[in-house]
Chain A
């Protein structure tokens, strides 16, 4: 597609529910990133894929967070047993390069509210 597409745009979950957030990167982009942006804060790194390989997951806040990109294109961020502190906007970004941090192109984000 023309840009990074994320769905759902808005998700309300009850505490304890599992959620899945989808990211469809720009076609041909090798690198894919997930960021978490709390209200009034800058985006914080969660995880990074190069094609289907998850090369860095150091930013995932707990083992309730899981991300995959099985075919090197679409990625899913899954949050199990959601907690209120998980409420944030989850941003996906993609990039062409593998040799270094090239320019990131962001999707519009998925806003998660945990009640």
Chain B
């Protein structure tokens, strides 16, 4: 069974601190996506990672992909309150009908 697991599920951190969210998946894929969702809103695409070793950065967020370990990380540097949201990773597959499988999400709260 294909699984996408994120940890932690809930994260409360102080402004200015650093932290990493982990995304593990059970079946090999070379396409990994990170999305942000604010309460009551839809999903906003953050990063698309398409190869082993891919690293992308946008502002205080940096995402990486290790396809051999089936692991992606989303690193938060010097968190600010505006980063409070739920973050989802999603793994893409073409051999199962072009599906995306989402993790359970990490709810991040940044405390001033």
Contacts and interface: CB of A to CB of B under 8 A. Distances in A.
Which range holds the interface residue count of chain A? Answer: 20 to 34
Contacts, number: 64
B88 interface: yes
A101 B31 contact: yes
A56 interface: yes
Contact of B31 (A31, A44, A58, A100): A100
Nearest to B103: A42
Which bracket fits the contact residues of B? 20 to 34
B25 interface: no
B42 A100 contact: no
B68 interface: no
A103 B99 contact: no
B99 to A, nearest CB: 5
Given A42-B105, A104-B33, A107-B42, A31 B100 contact: no
Contacts of B98: 31, 48, 50, 55-56, 100-101
Contacts of A105: 45
Contacts of A58: 97
Given A101-B31, A101-B92, A101-B93, A33 B100 contact: yes
B42 A91 contact: yes
